[in-house]
Chains A and B, each alone.
Chain A
Amino acid sequence: MAVRLVRGRAHRKDERADSELMSALCSGDEEAFSEIIRRFQGPVYSLLIRMLGNEDEAEELLQVTFCRVHRYRDHYDPSRPLVTWIFTIASNLAKKEWRRRSRWIQVPIDNVTLTSSIQTAPHYEAGRRELKASLEEAIAMLPPHYREPFLLREDQQLTYEEIAEVLNVRIGTVKSRINRARAMLRTALSDAWERWR
């Protein structure tokens, strides 16, 4: 009977706002922490896996991100959106990982031959799949400082202001980096896009 009650509570959707969850966590409500993980694990994992290109590293840093959210919960400023605070933690961890493994040196995207650029798209669906694969591949080839703001904008739908806060750069820098990323993608995917249309 008791088990059923507990299960029923666990599946109930938590309607609290992000900032309410954080203040509840600061007051010792561990269920609030569970809800924070449920809400943000998908977006943060998506960013980390695309930034690091490796599932194991992304999973490791995903755990560390939420450990830091829990440990440094008192440092959270309730006037700021929780999503930008959590993305800032994840982004800083990813940068630290790049520095550690010296992955800053990237192959220039113009020199990369995309496997899906081979002209073998037999019909429309294949072309659609091809553009998806090519796009993912081309994004993975972008330099990290262009890739990150591009993903935060296109994948996570963050505003310029939020991206600037996450990356700790000016809004003008965010705009120019996103513009540059798009220009690089246009160049790299020109052929694949023509076939996809």
Chain B
Amino acid sequence: MNCEKALKLIDLVLDGEVSESEEHMLHFHIAGCSSCRRALEMGRDFSAVMRQISRPEPPADLEKRVRERLARMKPARRRIPGLPLWSRIAVVIPFAAALLLIIGLGSGGTGTDDSVPEAAVQPDKSVATETSAKRAISTPPMASYVRPASLVAF
């Protein structure tokens, strides 16, 4: 075993991740290599000293400050449990498509089809009008906007 391999094993020893056979090989190498033995001793001493270093104390009123901060924030959007983002989008797309289709049919495709007959654009004045109760606006019945099937097909 060379020193490069030994240094890798020293780190595994320090982290308690080394196998028994690897540790045996390392000790065999260390017996004849003062440089690697020194590296292992240093690593052990540094870990021991790290444990003695006291951790800095967090502020005593941390929870109060966190709660005040949360109160100032807008509430986060709640996630629907079990539904990832892509599946939520997949659910919304057909509804959006259906809505667009309804709007498209409702507007009668104006401006896209030059062959729309006059009768389809201009409702028949003779047809009785429906009156909106709220706004008192007279609107013709929906049937007057529908194009004849034969014209749409040909």
Of the listed stretches B69-77, B96-104, B116-124, name the one at the interface; the rest are far from the partner chain.
Answer: B69-77
Contact check, A175 vs B11: say whether CB atoms are below 8 A apart. yes
- Residue A153, interface by CB 8 Å: yes
The interface residues of chain A lying within 8 Å CB-to-CB of B55 are 42-43, 45-46, 155
Return the chain B residue nearest A150 by Cβ: B50
Contact residue among B14, B45, B50, B78 (Cβ-Cβ distance under 8 Å from A196): B45
Interface residues on B, range: 20 to 34
Of the listed stretches B22-30, B58-66, B134-142, B143-151, name the one at the interface; the rest are far from the partner chain.
Answer: B58-66
Q: Chain A: how many interface residues by the 8 Å CB criterion?
A: 44
Interface of A with B (CB < 8 Å)?
34, 37-38, 41-46, 49, 55, 58-59, 62-64, 66-67, 70-72, 74-75, 128, 131-132, 135-136, 153-155, 160, 175, 178-179, 182-183, 185-186, 189-190, 193, 196-197
Contact check, A37 vs B46: say whether CB atoms are below 8 A apart. no
Contact check, B58 vs A41: say whether CB atoms are below 8 A apart. yes
Return the chain A residue nearest B75 by Cβ: A71
The interface residues of chain A lying within 8 Å CB-to-CB of B58 are 41-42, 44-45, 59, 62
- Residue B111, interface by CB 8 Å: no
The interface residues of chain B lying within 8 Å CB-to-CB of A186 are 39, 42-43
**Mask for B5-39, Cβ within 8 A of A = 1, else 0?**
00110010011010000000000000000000001
